[in-house]
Structure 1
Amino acid sequence: MSALPERTDALVIGGGVVGTSIACHLAEAGVGTVLLERGTLGSGASAATAGVLRTYFPGDPHTGGLAVRSMAAYHSFAERTGTPLGLERVGFLVVFTEERQVEEFRRTEAAQRAAGVDVELVSPSAAVRLNPLLNERAVLAAAWSPDAYACDPAAIVRGYAAAAQQAGAVVRTETTVTGIDPDGRVHTSTGSILAGTVICAAGPWSRTVASMADVDLPVTTYPVELLLTDPPATPLGTLPMTLHASSGLRIRSWKDRVLVGMGRPGPEESREAWLQRLSRLLGTTYPALDGIRLHRGWSGAFDASPNGTGLIGRHPSRSFLYAAGFSGQGLCQAPAAGETVRDLLAGA
């Protein structure tokens, strides 16, 4: 691997969907850009998602607005980067089991629509038509957003990284940041580089990276695990990504199986107890999956902000920008995050 350049206008730390998007947007705007990734591109939080792009985020029209902007970018992604994403429309269904959830939907529906989010409240019978595995008696109502697509997150990372390099950015993998000096000199496992602006997009490692620059970024890290079922007895069609609002249980079809997730074990809960709780809820909500065997799919870590909304901004007194704390939603917001950081840097 060649040595790092001596200096750069912007140094992006983190090579996931958000970091590569930032690098691409900066390089295409004519900003000298270097991207550093401690492992391989897309090997962090970007590799731990369920691989669905969506625009509806319950109770969060702001994130929905960023996701709508990002969805438009993804639809033109292949034309821009030469990398097809293989988008498959699956839709997003949120199952409500409590009246307060329905009331919250109605309270924010107008704001969601104002942000460009296509979503509507549907009846239990309509929810079952959309996802035939659902137990209709376990549904009070549901929110349906057709604008959700299965995708290949690794292709997004590859496409943005390739476009960034085509525009002149330097991308270095297997390069761990070990220190950041007050003057913007960044020390790494393979040398040092002087940066006009440091941009932290390091996902679960963002707080650690920020602390090297004496920046307190309020991001926490939590583990996630996705599971795969055995193939169901009756072959599946394409299921929408379906979220059980009360528990966080999520499912979507994955080839001939079902992909399942439900956050993580509670503070005093073992993995075994969590799996038992997940299995019980899975069987109650989706009777056809009652008792089905679950297997490890893949796991990783996500970065979260205090309110679950991504943090994008700049430090008030130093050349340090950040895009972190997306709580597993960075995939849906990466294009808009790249645009926002580019504009923040241009306004410096």
Structure 2
Amino acid sequence: MSVLPARADAVVIGGGVIGTSAAYHLAEAGVNTVLLERGSLGGGASAHTAGMVRSYFPGDPETGRRAVRSLRAYRDFARHTAAPLALKQLGFLVLFTDEQQIADFEAGRQAQQDAGVQVGLISAREAYELNPLVNERAVLGAAWSPEAYHVDGLDIVRGYAAAARNHGARLFTHTPVVRIDDDNTVHTPQGSIAADSIVCTAGPWSGEVAAMAAVELPLAPHAIEMLFTDVPPVPHPDLPMTMHAASGLRIRSWKDRILLAMGAPKAGEVREAWLGRIAGHLGTLFPALDGIGLHRAWTGDFDASPRNAAFIGEHPTRRFLYAAGFTGAGLCQAPAAGERLRDLLIVT
């Protein structure tokens, strides 16, 4: 096992997609950087996503702005990291089933477009033509954003990690942080590091890490469960990611099956009741999936903020920076988040 250095300009805590992006952007800028990951790189929330990057986030153009910036970086990923990404364009479809959802979309459309997001309102028929599983009689219209791509999140993590090492960053896995002193000394079972700056990118554990440094981050980690359907009677290998605006149900193609998510059972709700709610929405919105078998794919915890929008910033009185609260959308924002953390650290 490699020996931890005695000090570093920046210690990044968390080795998911946000942490490895931060380590890369800092190291590239000449910052003496150490990354500490309690498990394996990308083994947390980064490994438990639907594997999509997109720019349209309904009602949240600021997240869209970071996602647009990040998509540009992913298209240029190989030039910076020597690790090309396999981006497969699928698009993102949001189904509206009442008039207020359409009105809300129209009210926010200009802000989305000002942020660089490509999105427009289409008819129920056009939604069906994009996703033939859609029941156009149950839908009033839809938002359509072509800028959504399937990508392997671990490819992003590995690419950033390798590029960070090439620029001199040192990355340590299976090295949990157990204490942070007032002078920014970071303690682990493998030793301690004196950090000029700490960068917290620990996903669902960011609140715990921040608390060690007497910093409060108002995060509320929550669980999400991804499900696979049985193999449907008719294959649909290239469905766009499709979301029901009212319930949050999301579906997309995954090899010969359909991958779907709708959060997790509510407090006090038995899993069978939650599965029943999902089945009801599937039968209404996607009749070809009515009664199809559902199976657990994977579960994970995501770091959520009160407004479901990420926190990226720094503590006003100590050298503690943070990027957390991505609520499962870290892949979509990782390049922009890493750039922002770099800029905050270098300027301050």
- Paired with 1:192 and 1:283, the residues of 2 have a C-alpha distance of 55
Residue 159 of structure 1 corresponds to which residue in structure 2? Answer: 159
Q: CA deviation at 1:79?
A: 2.2
Query: Which amino acid in structure 2 is aligned with residue 141 of structure 1?
Result: G
- Paired with 1:20 and 1:323, the residues of 2 have a C-alpha distance of 12
Match runs of 1:113-128 below 5 Å = 113-128=113-128
- Paired with 2:249 and 2:43, the residues of 1 have a C-alpha distance of 24
Runs of 4+ in 1 over 6 A off after TM superposition: none
Residue 144 of structure 1 corresponds to which residue in structure 2? Answer: 144
Residue 99 of structure 2 corresponds to which residue in structure 1? Answer: 99
Residue 229 of structure 2 corresponds to which residue in structure 1? Answer: 229
- Paired with 2:37 and 2:270, the residues of 1 have a C-alpha distance of 33
- Paired with 2:98 and 2:12, the residues of 1 have a C-alpha distance of 43
Match runs of 1:303-314 below 5 Å = 303-314=303-314
Residue 12 of structure 1 corresponds to which residue in structure 2? Answer: 12
Q: Secondary structure at the match of 1:336?
A: helix
Residue 181 of structure 2 corresponds to which residue in structure 1? Answer: 181
Q: For residues 24-53 of structure 1, give each alpha carbon's deviation from its aligned partner in whole angstroms, at most 9, with x where no partner exists.
A: 000000000000000000011111110000
Q: Percent identity?
A: 61
Residue 214 of structure 2 corresponds to which residue in structure 1? Answer: 214
Instruction: Decide which moves more: 208-217 or 95-104.
Output: 95-104
Q: CA deviation at 1:69?
A: 0.2
Residue 34 of structure 1 corresponds to which residue in structure 2? Answer: 34
Residue 319 of structure 1 corresponds to which residue in structure 2? Answer: 319
Residue 340 of structure 2 corresponds to which residue in structure 1? Answer: 340
- Paired with 1:187 and 1:124, the residues of 2 have a C-alpha distance of 56
Q: For residues 39-90 of structure 1, give each alpha carbon's deviation from its aligned partner in whole angstroms, at most 9, with x where no partner exists.
A: 0000111111100000000011100000000000000112221212211000
Residue 328 of structure 2 corresponds to which residue in structure 1? Answer: 328
Gaps of 5+ in 2: none
TM-score computed with the length of structure 2 as normaliser: 0.99
Residue 59 of structure 1 corresponds to which residue in structure 2? Answer: 59
Instruction: Decide which moves more: 36-45 or 277-286.
Output: 277-286
Q: For residues 172-194 of structure 1, give each alpha carbon's deviation from its aligned partner in whole angstroms, at most 9, with x where no partner exists.
A: 00000000000010001211110
Residue 203 of structure 2 corresponds to which residue in structure 1? Answer: 203
Question: Do the aligned residues in 1 keep the contact of 2:225 with 2:298 (CA within 8 Å)?
Answer: yes
Q: For residues 131-158 of structure 1, give each alpha carbon's deviation from its aligned partner in whole angstroms, at most 9, with x where no partner exists.
A: 0000111111100000000000000000
Q: How many residue pairs get matched? A: 348
- Paired with 2:42 and 2:237, the residues of 1 have a C-alpha distance of 29
Q: CA deviation at 1:218?
A: 0.6
Q: Secondary structure at the match of 1:8?
A: strand
- Paired with 1:79 and 1:296, the residues of 2 have a C-alpha distance of 37
Q: CA deviation at 1:284?
A: 1.4
Residue 281 of structure 1 corresponds to which residue in structure 2? Answer: 281
- Paired with 1:285 and 1:84, the residues of 2 have a C-alpha distance of 37
Residue 111 of structure 1 corresponds to which residue in structure 2? Answer: 111
Query: Which amino acid in structure 1 is aligned with residue 226 of structure 2?
Result: L
Q: CA deviation at 1:236?
A: 1.4
Q: For residues 286-332 of structure 1, give each alpha carbon's deviation from its aligned partner in whole angstroms, at most 9, with x where no partner exists.
A: 10011111111111110011101000000000000000001111110
Q: CA deviation at 1:231?
A: 1.0
Residue 72 of structure 2 corresponds to which residue in structure 1? Answer: 72
Query: Which amino acid in structure 2 is aligned with residue 219 of structure 1?
Result: L
Residue 256 of structure 1 corresponds to which residue in structure 2? Answer: 256
TM-score computed with the length of structure 1 as normaliser: 0.99
Residue 266 of structure 1 corresponds to which residue in structure 2? Answer: 266
Query: Which amino acid in structure 2 is aligned with residue 231 of structure 1?
Result: V
- Paired with 1:127 and 1:103, the residues of 2 have a C-alpha distance of 18
Instruction: Decide which moves more: 183-192 or 204-213.
Output: 183-192
Q: Secondary structure at the match of 1:223?
A: strand
Q: CA-atom RMSD, angstroms? A: 0.7
Q: For residues 101-159 of structure 1, give each alpha carbon's deviation from its aligned partner in whole angstroms, at most 9, with x where no partner exists.
A: 11111111011111100000000000000100001111111000000000000000000
Gaps of 5+ in 1: none
